[in-house]
Amino acid sequence: MEGFVGRRGLIEAKRLRALSPRSDLKGCMQLGSHAVAILATGAVLAVTWGTWWAVPVFIAHGVLINFLYAGQHELSHSTVFKTRWLNEAAGRAIGFLMLYPRDFDQIQHFAHHRHTQDWAKDGELDRPPYTLMSHLLYMAGPTYWSSRMSRILRFARGIVREPYIPADKHALVIREARWMLTGYAAIAAASLALQSWAAVIFWLAPMFLTKSVHQLQNSMEHLGLTHETNTLENTRTTRTNALMRWMAWNMQYHTAHHTYPAVPFHALPELHREIVARSGREPHSMTYLGFQRELIRKLAGGRSEADYPQNEAWILDPAEPPRTAASHAQA
């Protein structure tokens, strides 16, 4: 994925190279702080378990676990660490925890970057158009987790039907799924032997039950925008606070990321400012709740995504200035 650029000519090559170096130190600081936060909430959860104080801690713990996917995403890009094997090792560990195999994720995500918003080829957006009910089920987690688990089981049986997975990669994702299932079976066996609920209390239950918070980020990055190939038009940036930006590894600067995906997470705020300066305007952006409010309004009354045109944006911040045909063409 390193050679892919979503927009050529917008930023000078020299400037882009200055924004692109990986850093083991910055990678360790980000991943380390995220891991420490999870260990801290896990420790507090152990102390408060059985009391009402455990409820907010349980939620915080699960949200932190779910946002580890932001780290896995960056590790799949190999932009977290300068030392390449660290990206793979950490990515595989997080993928195991998230029930999201790393090799599959890389293949799927590469297709997503190559064909963003082309539903026939985009590995992450290949799905039926959302209705209000299917969107709410995705946000709550049931359809998200069922699809993840059923895919691992299907791969483990040797069945790969995703069109974006090349035939020469089928054996790779099948082998990966089988190794992951072996690991999960070992954890289940150990839990039964020790009569321990630790894996459920500190990992699976909080991760499953708090997915909706992470889905706030997942759902708004492209939904409701044009399906044309321009990354400045088909990708949305999120307006939020510093805590959320830390927890999501700066993935809120998603327009910048899709335009130049080889730029590391820690340089995305600067890359965002550079794109705004060069393009002369802010990218499409909304707040988390503002997006959900607008989406629910558009899907209410039995409507679905299929009722809206694919060649123009239909979920925008009401305060966003209208874009003229000239400015759209310039972007």
Please tell me the total number of residues recorded for the chain in this structure: 331
SS3 of the chain: helix, strand, coil, percent, to 5: 65, 0, 35
CA–CA dist 242, 251 (Å, integer): 12
What was the pLDDT predicted at 286?
A: 98
Q: Is the dihedral of CA 296, 135, 318, 118 positive or negative?
A: negative
* DSSP one-letter code for 282: P
User: Phi and psi dihedrals of 9, rounded to 5?
Assistant: 90, -10
Average pLDDT over residues 191-210: 98
User: Is the model's pLDDT at 154 over the cut of 70?
Assistant: yes
User: Is the model's pLDDT at 2 over the cut of 80?
Assistant: no
CA–CA dist 84, 141 (Å, integer): 33
pTM for the full predicted model: 0.93
What was the pLDDT predicted at 320?
A: 86
Please name every residue paired with 286 in a beta bridge, in sequence order, or none if there are none: 238
Residues 176, 109 contacting (CB under 8 angstroms):
no
Please give the full DSSP string across 295-321, using - where no structure is assigned.
HHHHHTTT-BGGGS-TTS-----TTSP
CA–CA dist 225, 27 (Å, integer): 32
CA–CA dist 107, 45 (Å, integer): 36
What was the pLDDT predicted at 324?
A: 55
Residue 302 falls in which region: left (phi positive, over 0), alpha (psi -120 to 50) or beta: left
User: Is the model's pLDDT at 257 over the cut of 50?
Assistant: yes
What was the pLDDT predicted at 330?
A: 45
Q: Which residues contact 22 (CB under 8 A, 6 or more apart)?
A: 78, 79, 80, 81, 82, 264
Smallest CA-to-CA distance from 251 within 107, 88, 75, 102 is with 75
Average pLDDT over residues 9-20: 91
- Amino acid in the structure at residue 39: L
pLDDT in tens, 18-34: 999 999 999 999 999 99
User: Is the model's pLDDT at 327 over the cut of 60?
Assistant: no
Mean pLDDT score of the chain: 94
User: Is the model's pLDDT at 307 over the cut of 60?
Assistant: yes
